[in-house]
Amino acid sequence: MRAIENGADGVLIAGCLEGGCHYIDGNLFARKRVTATRALLEECGIDKERLRMVNISAAMAKNLVDVIFDMVDTVKKLGPNPIKPQSLGFKPQAACCNIEVESEIEK
Amino acid sequence: MIVAQRKSIPELQDIIKEKKNILVLGCGTCVTVCLAGGEREVSIISSALRIASKKAGEAIKVNELTIERQCDNVFIETAADEIKKCDAVLSLGCGAGVQAIAERYPDKPVYAGLDTAFLGILESRGVWTEKCAQCGACVLADFGGICPVTRCAKHMLNGPCGGSRIDRCEISPNQPCAWQMIYKRLSDIGETDKLKKIYPAKNWSKSLDGGSRTIIREDHRI
């Protein structure tokens, strides 16, 4: 919520594979909370696709890249976060892990 | 404990419309335990309101505060500064908390952000069930600690009704028959004789009949 409130165009949350979490069921709780938060965003008038969760392991680099690009495509289609100050421009970012998406998105 | 649920964001937007400076006030007691109006929920709902209002093109300021207990003047006092600064209070307390704040600050609009639902218990994680209808004349001693007023769909004091199937109520397969539970419980504790008594019609004058109720304990008054 804070990331969207602060202007993030999309938020991608990556959890461990189900059954493979160090915290046993932390990723399962996270998924439920992400589902609830997506519904809450819809109540606020924000497209729920701006928030997404994936379950992925440390050995699945290609899958992670695919998921990130899919998220970027989704966010590009949705356009900028409607509550973001215009001055910040449209620069899709992965909100929680500071991964800046390639500059071609900005073009 | 008192169990409540938050209102939807569009409902809340409608409630606080035209107010520019809102204090979302949480309560650290029952509604914290039922995950409806504690510090965490205050933070989430405040954030949602800021997002929704920006989306709607309105600029409102939403402050957040949670006090220990909204139904007690001693604790309400700790929110005095924040309450004075805002245009309106959106209370995430139960109905009693909202009214306590409104009585303490007669010139300040105080709105309910939750729907107070019932008096119940945490059944399992994320599941709360109603156990007490606060009828004012408790019959639990006669029914093995299971309340037919609350848990029987027909509120029968001389049950069962005949509509149950095995141990389920006829209104829903998910609803256990309270009278089946009462019979089993009284059997387990050797008190089935209590069921031979025909219960007279319940005296509802101790419930909401005649307006809101007051309890006065002279031994505690100052």
ipTM of the complex: 0.85
Rounded mean pLDDT of A55-64? 92
Closest by Cβ to A46, choosing from B10, B44, B51: B51
User: A37: nearest CA in chain B?
Assistant: B44
Instruction: Indicate which of B47, B60, B61, B125 best probes the interface with A, i.e. most A CBs within 10 Å of its own CB.
Output: B47
Mean pLDDT of the residues in chain B: 95
Rounded mean pLDDT of B45-69? 95
Contact A43 B54 (CB under 8 A): no
Closest by Cβ to B55, choosing from A1, A2, A83: A83
Backbone dihedral angles phi then psi of residue A62, each to the nearest 5 degrees: -65, -45
Determine the residue type at B115: D
Instruction: Indicate which of A1, A44, A84 best probes the interface with B, i.e. most B CBs within 10 Å of its own CB.
Output: A44
Q: How far is A48 from chain B (nearest CA, A)?
A: 13
Contact A46 B55 (CB under 8 A): yes
Distance between CA atoms of B76 and B97, rounded to whole angstroms?
Answer: 9
pLDDT interval class at B161 (50, 70, 90) = very high
pLDDT tens digits for B133-150? 999 999 999 999 999 999
Is the pLDDT at A106 greater than 50, yes or no?
Answer: no
What pLDDT is stored for residue B159 in this prediction?
92
Cβ of residue A4 closer than 8 Å to a chain B Cβ: yes
Query: Which regions of chain A does DSSP assign to beta strands (E)?
Result: 11-15, 51-55, 93-94, 99-100
Backbone dihedral angles phi then psi of residue A13, each to the nearest 5 degrees: -105, 125
Contact B8 A4 (CB under 8 A): no
pLDDT tens digits for B85-112? 999 999 999 999 999 999 999 999 999 9
Contact B54 A83 (CB under 8 A): yes
